[in-house]
Amino acid sequence: MTDCPALPARSPLAVRQTATVLDVVVPVYNEEDDLEACVRRLHAHLTATFPYGFRITVADNASTDRTPEVAARLDDAIEEVSAVRLEQKGRGRALRTVWSVSDAPVLAYMDVDLSTDLNALLPLVAPLISGHSDLAIGTRLAGGSRVVRGPKREFISRAYNLVLRTGLAARFSDAQCGFKAIRKDAAEALLPLVEDTGWFFDTELLVLAERAGMRIHEVPVDWVDDPDSSVHIVRTATDDLRGVWRIGRALATGALPLERLRRPFGDDPRDRAVPGVPRGLARQLVGFCTVGALSTLAYLGLYTLFRMGMGPQSANALALLLSAVANTAANRRLTFGVRGRERAMRQQAQGLVVFTIGLALTSGSLAALGAAGGSASHGAELSVLIVANLAATALRFLLLRAWVFPQAVHTAAADGEHQHHETPGSTR
C-alpha cells in the first residue's frame, strides 16, 4: 500500500497569494463536436463569476477522432485553458493524472456535456476555499435539485446510491453526478488509496473520504440529461458493483489505512471534552443501540423461524447464539472502532460469555412464563423475551465496554487527556 500524508488542520485558503485557485478538469474521449462549445461556455462563466484565478484543463483520454486537435487549438487561443493528452482511457486515470500535478489548491471536474447548470460551480467550491469542507459534490437527489431525465436513468441512479447506502453505509446522496471538487491537500492524501481508473473512481474517492472523517459538502443542482451520452450503462453498472464489493471487503478487513488520513485531534468539535461524560460514551451508546436494535430484530426473526421445528428453549438458545456472534462482530467494528483481526477470536469468546448472561435471563423468563401455568401464546413468549432482552442490554453494554473492548475506551480517554495537556501552540 502506498504511503499517504496526514492531513493538516482545516483552514481557509490563502487565495490572495495564489495565482490559480481553481483547476477545473474536463475529461473527454472522442468529443470533437462538443468540446469547443463546452470550454468556451465554461471559460465565459468563470470569467464573469469566479473572483479568483482559474484554469480549465482538458484531459483527453486517448481519443481517436479530432479531439486532440480541438483541445490544442483551445490551449493556444485561451490563456486559462491547457490541454493534456493521455494514451490510455479512463476518467479516473485522467483525473488522477491532472490532479496529482496541478498547483491549484482547489481541484474540480465536470462532464463535457455540461448537464449541470454552471451557477452551482461557485457554491460548489466556496466551502473548500473557506476551509469548511474537504470535498464537494453536486447532487441531483436532494430536495432543492431540479432534474430532467428519463425514468431509466432515474431508476439506475437511485438504485446505485441505495446500494452504496446499504452496502458501504455511505451517507452522501449522489455519487454519480459529474460535478465534484476537492481540496488539493485532501486529494494528495486520498489519491494513493484509490485503485479504480474508470467511472468508479469518484465513488471510491467519496467513500474513503467519508470513512476517514472528511467533510463532504453537497450542492443541489439543476441537471438536464444528455440523450447522446456515450456512457455504456450496463458495463459501467457492472464495474461499479465490482468496485463496491472490493471496497466493502477492504473496509471490513481493515486493509485501508484510513486512520492516517484523519485530521489532527481537536480539529473536529466532537473531539472536545464534555464535563461529566466519559470520552466516546455518547458515540458508543448510539452505535450500540443501533446494532442492538438490528440484532434484536434478527434474533426475533430467527426465534420465530426455529420455533416452527423445536421447543421454545432450544429455539431461544440457537437464535440467541447466532445473533450474539453477529452482535459482537458488529459492535467490535461499528461501536468500539476495533479494526483488523488481532484478538478477534478472543473477543468473540468473551462475547459468548456475555451471551450466556443473556441466555440465562431469557431462558429464565421463558421458564417463569411456563411455570405460571397454561400454554402461553407465541405473542406472550415474544413479549417476555423482549422485556428480558431489554434487561440484558444494559448489562451487555457495560461488559462490552469494560471487559471485551476496554482498549477502545482507554485509547479515547488517552486522546482526551493528551489534548487536555497540550499547549495551544503544540502539534501532534
DSSP collapsed to 3 states, the chain: CCCCCCCCCCCCCCHHHCCCCEEEEEEECCCCCCHHHHHHHHHHHHHHHCCCCEEEEEEEECCCCCHHHHHHHHHHHCCCEEEEEECCCCHHHHHHHHHHHCCCCEEEEECCCCCECHHHHHHHHHHHHHCCCCEEEEECCCCCCEEECCHHHHHHHHHHHHHHHHHCCCCCCCCCCCEEEEEHHHHHHHHHHCCCCCCCHHHHHHHHHHHCCCCEEEEECEEECCCCCCCCHHHHHHHHHHHHHHHHHHHHHCCCCHHHHCCCCCCCHHHCCCCCCCCCHHHHHHHHHHHHHHHHHHHHHHHHHHHCCCCHHHHHHHHHHHHHHHHHHHHHHHHCCCCCCCCHHHHHHHHHHHHHHHHHHHHHHHHHHHHCCCCCCHHHHHHHHHHHHHHHHHHHHHHHHHHHCHHHHHHHHHHHHHHHHCCCCCCC
Round the CA-based radius of gyration of the chain to a whole number and report it. Answer: 27
* C-alpha cell at position 368: 417463569
Q: Label residue 337 left, alpha or beta by phi (over 0 means left) and psi (-120 to 50 means alpha).
A: left
- Is 113 one of the annotated active-site residues of the chain? no
One of 134, 202, 225, 228 is an active-site residue; which one? 202
Own/partner pairs, 329-333, CB within 8 angstroms, 24+ separation: 330/291, 330/294, 330/295, 331/287, 331/288, 331/291, 331/400, 331/405, 332/405, 333/252
Q: Which residues are catalytic?
A: 202
